[in-house]
Structure 1
Amino acid sequence: MEESGGRRVGVAVDFSECSRKALSWAVENVVRDGDHLILITVRPEMYYEGGEMQLWEATGTPFIPLEEFSDGAVMKKYEVKPDPETLDIANTAARQKPITVIMKIYWGDAREKICEAVDHIPLSCLVIGNRGLGGLKRVIMGSVSNYVVNNASCPVTVVKVPH
């Protein structure tokens, strides 16, 4: 994808307010004409009824085009529910800029899978939101953005959500 002049801009999305802010920020400040905007979402590892997850558990799904991840029936088979606001940001970006918007879903620990995605896709850069957990919660849960900043092999921008 790089050779065609476009970069691979990754945005970690969990369909929360902070990931929507990160996606909006990436669209406004990072994504340029010809880029691939890749939404990366990580689901918890657990037993899933459908076969899709077992099929893609190790490598993540193939790239899912915007039209497909905007379709609730398609996303149901991955047990992923993108919120309307995230879909609106992605669809608006695709209408307003000559870019390709795709999604890739992983299963497992968000910190590790996002870093894996950086290497396997590979990404030119990554934008991630920060929930701004307090000190104790961050110690207990660990900050995904902090881990990714320290371990990803590409530039990472953390978009903080003001309280």
Structure 2
Amino acid sequence: MAKARTIGVAVDFSATSKSALKWTVDNLINKGDCLILINVQPLKSDHTRKDLFEDTGSPLVPLEELREMNFTKQYGIARDQEVIDILNTASNTKGAKVGAKVYWGDPREKLCKAIEHLHLHSLVVGSRGFGPIKRVLLGSVSNHVVTNASCPVTVVKGNPSSKR
């Protein structure tokens, strides 16, 4: 039996990140693996939990708490039933342990730090497929993470119609 791994998925609740999460559950997750949903909120957000955990990110939140409305209110994250359904599939049919962690700041930096904090074996990110001009102006989170990560990174391309 293969050794259990810890796999992170960057999720901002866009269609592209949901595709990356679904791809991860369908293609990477094995029984006993730990799947961690990683969300990075803007630094300017003013949720009470940010003051407590701005430097380290939130505590690791188990799937049971993710299902509750209170979690979404505490961290300023919209409750997304599609994401919960995908995570339930990972837990129920794949036998994965599922949790989430919220960070605040620049997604490029925080995702690279999450790899170290969470001891990830792999990270999956979505790509909105910006063209060269938008990529220069807005930056590419996936490109930065691929270049700077200390673990393997899989970039799941989104459909052109799923850009946010």
Q: TM-score, normalised by structure 1?
A: 0.93
Aligned partner of 1:68 among 65, 70, 78: 65
Shift of 1:7: 0.5
Aligned to 2:11: 13
Unmatched tracts of structure 1, length 5 or more: none
- Aligned pairs for 1:62-101 (under 5 A) are 62-101=59-98
Unmatched tracts of structure 2, length 5 or more: none
Aligned to 2:41: 43
Aligned to 2:150: 153
The answer to whether the 8 A contact 2:47-2:76 is kept is: no
Aligned partner of 1:134 among 131, 135, 160: 131
Q: In the aligned structure 1, how far is the partner of 2:112 from the partner of 2:23?
A: 20
Q: TM-score, normalised by structure 2?
A: 0.93
The answer to whether the 8 A contact 1:68-1:75 is kept is: no
Closer/same/farther in 2, CA of residues 97 and 116 from structure 1, 3 Å limit: same
Aligned to 1:53: 50
Aligned partner of 2:114 among 103, 112, 117: 117
Shift of 1:81: 1.4
**Amino acid across the alignment from 1:41:** N
Q: In the aligned structure 1, how far is the partner of 2:69 from the partner of 2:142?
A: 28
The answer to whether the 8 A contact 1:115-1:152 is kept is: yes
Aligned to 2:103: 106
**Amino acid across the alignment from 2:8:** G
- The alignment-based identity, stated in percent, is 50
Aligned to 2:27: 29
Shift of 1:19: 0.5
Q: In the aligned structure 2, how far is the partner of 1:36 from the partner of 1:111?
A: 22
Q: In the aligned structure 2, how far is the partner of 1:133 from the partner of 1:157?
A: 17
Number of aligned residue pairs: give it. 159
The answer to whether the 8 A contact 1:60-1:105 is kept is: yes
Between stretches 73-82 and 27-36, larger displacement belongs to: 73-82
**Amino acid across the alignment from 2:155:** V
2:150 aligned counterpart, secondary structure: coil
Q: Deviations over 1:84-123 (max 9, x none)?
A: 1111111122111211000000000000000000011110
Shift of 1:129: 0.4
